[in-house]
């Protein structure tokens, strides 16, 4: 049997505080809850996941670079780096893996500075506003995308 493709599920700054961080915006699930749900969803989809979080831009860039050799795709919630980080965009463009961008909140309903995403330029698609469910939708989309590419 072919090896299950691995997806890097990457969360950026302050997402380690989920559960207590502005629950009216981000909900009450913790990052550990989200990662457990991602592992379950991945298994059901025939994928494996490598879940990581960092508050540091350079560490996220390093993990994205490493993913070139270890992952088939990336599900990424870059947190505030979404709106500021050319370095994360460049890393994603450099490795060329399929990327699905996720946000718990609907960033389009929020402040003006959240309307711009650098990361979207490297993403196959963006899921925002569905809370925790967004990660599960992203994994479903990634499974379909990878299966489609394997079939070509
Ligand atoms: C976020 C939205 C960002 O604007 C914010 O900086 C975050 C979380 C979200 O998941 O809704 O940290 O990415």
Domains and CATH numbers, the chain: 6-150 (3.40.50.9100)
Q: Which residues are catalytic?
A: 26, 103
Residue nearest ligand 1's atom 9 by CA: 103
Pocket test for ligand 1, best of 19, 88, 101, 107 (most atoms within 8 A of CB): 107
Torsion sign across C-alpha atoms 16, 21, 23, 25? negative
Task: Count CB atoms within 10 A of the CB of residue 9.
Answer: 27
pLDDT digits 0-9 by tens, 87-107:
999 999 999 999 999 999 999
Give the distance (Å) from ligand 1 centre to CA of residue 43.
26
Confidence of residue 136 (pLDDT cuts 50, 70, 90): very high
């Amino acid at each position: 049997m072919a090896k299950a493709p691995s997806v890097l599920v990457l969360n950026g700054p302050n997402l380690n505080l989920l559960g207590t961080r502005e629950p009216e915006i981000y909900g009450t699930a913790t990052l550990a809850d989200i990662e457990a749900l991602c592992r379950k969803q991945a298994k059901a989809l025939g994928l494996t996941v490598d879940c990581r979080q960092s508050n540091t831009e350079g560490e996220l860039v390093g993990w994205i670079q490493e993913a070139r050799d270890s992952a088939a795709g990336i599900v990424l919630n870059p947190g505030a780096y979404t709106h500021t980080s050319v370095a994360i965009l460049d890393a994603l463009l450099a490795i060329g893996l399929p990327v699905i961008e996720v946000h718990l909140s609907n960033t389009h309903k929020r402040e003006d500075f959240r309307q711009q995403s650098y990361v979207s330029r490297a993403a196959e698609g963006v899921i925002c506003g569905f809370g925790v469910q967004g990660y599960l939708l992203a994994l479903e989309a990634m499974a379909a995308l990878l299966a489609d590419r394997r079939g070509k």
